[in-house]
């Protein structure tokens, strides 16, 4: 299975010219990369970048969506709109979106909507902190159960789970996650999915890692941690560093 590397640009850059410059840089460093699928998730105004895609290993993704198809929902974007712009993936449940009000129930509706629009959802889960009593595992289990409610076995293969511990991302990160910590969570996620859908379906799901991913730790999470891919934030805006990440896991 090809590794999946997702570039989450968040609310960057600030102009179409900059967006094209970064996109062209990523396209250049990924031109001869094999067995790696790259998904670029720019802000909504820059989804026009789909017209520039020439590399077969690059797809476009969105950073969020709304769960209704159409209607009086000012400021929202539907799966049908995203599909029309050739978006193949969409990030749902990111901690920054949860902070703005997305609950597990809302995320579940977004997953159902994206699947109806034939867009693969990248479901982000992650805890705020690690306690010594293992409460964070119950927290993650609840996220998985509630976000995947009403999702059938046949739909499962279209969903990617991204484990992104909140304590390891952004400017307020307390530390980086270790490979061992990811292995623990990857096994735990598989077990939860196995209880819900059976071991065969659980093994079909791609579990990727996100959280302060950079060229120095990318290889470790992929080869030692068994991650099916990576969700890259800050370094996805710097083509040189993004290329180094691809080179590390090539």
- Is 127 a residue of the active site? no
* Set 18, 129, 164, 181: catalytic member: 164
DSSP character string of the chain? --EEEEEE--S--SSHHHHHHHHHHHHHHTTT--SEEEEEE--GGGGGGGGG---TTEEEEES---SSSSSS-TT---HHHHHHTTEEEEEES-HHHHHTT--HHHHHHHHHHHHHTT-EEEEEE--S---TT-HHHHHHHHHHHHHTTT--HHHHTT-EEEE--GGGSSTT--SPPPHHHHHHHHHHHHHHHHHHH-HHHHHHSEEEEESS--HHHHHIIIIIT--SEEEE-GGGGSHHHHHHHHHHH-
* Strand pairing category for 58-62 and 36-41: parallel
* Set 68, 94, 127, 133: catalytic member: 94
- Residue 138 to residue 232: CA distance in whole angstroms: 26
- Is 94 a residue of the active site? yes
Q: Please check whether residue 45 is in contact with residue 13, taking contact to mean a CB–CB distance below 8 angstroms.
A: no
Active site residues: 94, 164
């Amino acid at each position: 299975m090809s590794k999946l590397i997702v570039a989450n640009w968040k609310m960057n850059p600030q102009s179409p010219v900059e967006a094209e410059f970064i996109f062209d840089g990523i396209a250049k460093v990924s031109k001869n990369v094999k067995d790696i699928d790259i998904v670029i998730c720019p802000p909504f105004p820059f989804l026009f970048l789909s017209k520039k895609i020439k590399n077969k290993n690059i797809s476009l993704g969105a950073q969020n969506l709304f769960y209704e198809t159409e209607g009086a929902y000012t400021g929202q974007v539907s799966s049908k709109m995203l599909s029309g712009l050739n978006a193949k993936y969409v990030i749902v449940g990111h901690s920054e979106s949860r902070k703005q009000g997305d609950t597990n129930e809302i995320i579940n509706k977004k997953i159902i909507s994206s699947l109806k629009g034939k867009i693969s959802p990248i479901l982000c889960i992650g805890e705020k902190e690690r306690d010594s009593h293992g409460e964070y595992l119950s927290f993650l289990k609840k996220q998985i159960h509630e976000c995947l409610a009403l999702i059938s076995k046949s739909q499962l293969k279209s969903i990617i789970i991204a484990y992104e511990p909140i304590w390891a991302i952004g400017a307020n990160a307390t530390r980086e996650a270790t490979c061992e910590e990811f292995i623990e969570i990857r096994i735990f996620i598989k077990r939860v999915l196995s209880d819900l859908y059976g071991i065969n379906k659980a093994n079909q799901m791609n579990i990727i890692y996100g959280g302060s991913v950079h060229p120095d730790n990318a290889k470790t999470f992929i080869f030692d941690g068994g991650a099916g891919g990576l969700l890259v934030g800050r370094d996805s805006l710097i083509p040189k560093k993004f290329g180094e990440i691809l080179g590390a896991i090539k």
